[in-house]
């Protein structure tokens, strides 16, 4: 490891944009398929990895949903989450906010309880093993109807006290934020935080819609907001957090190369950008890999990297006292380097 690699790993950081189903590595996919008697369309780990050549978001989603079929029991979801937590802890993650897609599983006949109980047990184990705290973001699939999202919110009722936020993911184009205005209002009334994918493949208007109609607390991705000067000024003035995912942007052709990635431009414009891994098993790297990749491609300084880590902590849904403690730890780490 270079000195910069060590610095990046050592930075206390939060991960705010992580789809737990997207951390399903091919090795675990095969193990769970064998455990559950699920037939896969691929005959080897290498064949699965070779299939991870996407030209757009939908290509990725097709294989993502197929891979999720191996997840059937609470033990499967526990093992999936623990594999992520172990990697995250090694990357210097002190807090993770896990997005999960219950509709992907309930549509296959998997009870909601199996999904969430498995995740909750892993979260408790991760805190005991690594001191890594976490919370859950229940994401609605935007290619489905709002009625389906309302049904999922109702099904989550017994566990709402263990869910911190709701989100909006899956196919962005053709499914504007306004489609889910009612269910987001209901989630807000229930005391949940709100986030939404916007401006990844969708236009800047989707970011505006997420802010105005859904009244989100954070924007997931947000890259295309840069096309609208007034929107950039609004985002900077409000201090709303953007959960940016560089390797995902590269893999899904949001940018042609990481040399074109706008992360440093976002910082220069005063945007509260953060670095995250999105679906790391599919996109080629966990959170520290994302930091290293953009640091190399865009020549980010240690001060830039520390700012990104601080943004992740202050942009989290942790209570103020926990944020303050993590930021103090970050300051001490940077000062000692």
Nearest to 166 by CA among 138, 188, 147: 138
Residue 121 CA to residue 335 CA, distance in Å, equals: 36
Q: What is the DSSP string of 195-224?
A: EEEESSSS-HHHHHHHHHTS--SEEEE-GG
- Structure confidence by residue, pLDDT tens digits, 287-302: 999 999 999 999 999 9
pLDDT given at position 59? 77
pLDDT of 252 over the 60 cut? yes
The answer to whether the Cα torsion of 23, 138, 71, 123 is positive or negative is: positive
**Average pLDDT for the chain:** 95
Mean pLDDT computed over 157-163: 97
Say which residues have a Cβ less than 8 Å from residue 274's Cβ, sequence separation at least 6.
14, 16, 17, 241, 242, 243, 244, 308, 311, 312, 315
In order of 3, 56, 64, 146, the CA distances from 253 in angstroms are 30, 6, 17, 28
Report how far residue 235's alpha carbon sits from residue 30's, in angstroms, rounded to the nearest whole number: 43
Q: Indicate whether this model's pTM tops 0.85.
A: yes
pLDDT at 90 over 80: yes
Measured CA to CA, the distance from residue 256 to residue 241 in angstroms comes to 24
User: What percent of the chain shows pLDDT beyond 70?
Assistant: 99
User: 168 is written with which tokens?
Assistant: 């909006």
Band of residue 140 on the pLDDT scale cut at 50, 70, 90 = very high
In the predicted structure, residue 58 carries a pLDDT above the cut 90: no
Of the candidates 111, 93, 94, the residue with the CA atom closest to the CA atom of residue 102: 111
Q: Of all residues in the chain, what percent carry a pLDDT higher than 90?
A: 87
Average pLDDT over residues 34-38: 93
The answer to whether 337 is a known catalytic residue is no
Q: Which of 25, 200, 227, 337 is catalytic?
A: 200
User: Of all helices (H) and strands (E), which one includes residue 274?
Assistant: strand 272-275
Q: What is the pLDDT of residue 43?
A: 85
- The pLDDT score that the predictor gives to residue 2 is 65
Asked if 134 and 95 count as a contact pair (C-beta separation under 8 A), the reply is yes
Domain ranges of the chain: 3-336
| CATH number assigned to the domain with residue range 3-336, chosen from the 4 options 2.60.120.620, 3.20.20.140, 3.40.30.10, 3.40.50.720 | 3.20.20.140
Q: What is the pLDDT of residue 242?
A: 98
CB 167 within 8 A of CB 99: yes
Collapsing DSSP to helix, strand or coil, 306 comes out as helix
**Is pLDDT of 260 > 80?**
yes
Q: Are 221 and 243 in contact (CB under 8 A)?
A: yes
pLDDT above 80: residue 93: yes
pLDDT of 203-225, one tens digit each?
999 999 999 999 999 999 999 99
96 CB burial (10 A radius; 0-12, 13-18, 19+): buried
Is the confidence at residue 1, as pLDDT, over 60? no
Calpha distance 65→67 (Å, rounded):
5
Report how far apart, in Å, the C-alpha atoms of 96 and of each of 87, 258, 278, 312, 334 are. Answer: 12, 24, 12, 10, 21
- pLDDT band at residue 48 using 50, 70 and 90 as cut-offs: confident
pLDDT band at 226 (very low <50, low <70, confident <90, very high): very high
């Amino acid at each position: 490891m270079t000195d910069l690699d060590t610095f990046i790993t050592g930075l206390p950081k939060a991960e705010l944009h992580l789809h737990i189903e997207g951390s399903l590595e091919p090795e675990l996919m095969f193990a769970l398929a064998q455990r559950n008697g699920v037939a896969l369309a691929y005959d080897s780990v290498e064949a699965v990895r070779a299939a991870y050549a996407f030209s757009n978001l939908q290509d990725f989603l097709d294989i993502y949903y197929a891979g999720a079929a191996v997840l059937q029991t609470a033990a499967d979801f526990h093992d999936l989450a623990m594999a992520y937590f172990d990697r995250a802890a090694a990357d210097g993650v002190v807090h993770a906010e896990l997005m999960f897609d219950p509709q992907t599983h309930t549509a296959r006949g998997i009870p909601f309880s199996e999904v969430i109980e498995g995740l909750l047990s892993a979260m408790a184990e991760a805190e005991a093993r690594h001191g890594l705290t976490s919370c859950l973001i229940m994401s609605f699939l935007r290619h489905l109807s709002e009625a389906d999202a309302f049904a999922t919110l109702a099904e989550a009722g017994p566990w709402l006290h263990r869910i911190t936020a709701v989100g909006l993911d899956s196919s962005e184009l053709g499914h504007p934020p306004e489609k889910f205005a009612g269910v987001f209002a209901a989630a807000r009334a229930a005391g949940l935080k709100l986030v939404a994918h916007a401006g990844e493949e969708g236009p800047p208007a989707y970011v505006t819609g997420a802010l105005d109609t859904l009244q989100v607390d954070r924007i997931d991705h947000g890259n295309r907001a840069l096309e609208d000067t007034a929107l950039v000024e609004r985002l900077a003035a409000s201090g709303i957090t953007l959960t940016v995912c560089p390797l995902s942007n590269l893999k899904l052709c949001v940018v042609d190369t990481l040399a074109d990635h706008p992360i440093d431009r976002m910082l220069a414009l005063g945007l509260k950008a953060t670095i995250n891994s999105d679906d790391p098993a599919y996109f080629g790297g966990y959170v520290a890999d994302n930091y290293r990749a953009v640091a190399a491609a865009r020549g980010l300084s240690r001060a830039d990297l520390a700012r990104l880590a601080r943004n992740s902590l202050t942009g989290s849904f942790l209570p103020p006292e926990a944020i303050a403690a993590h930021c103090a730890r970050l300051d001490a780490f940077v000062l000692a380097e």
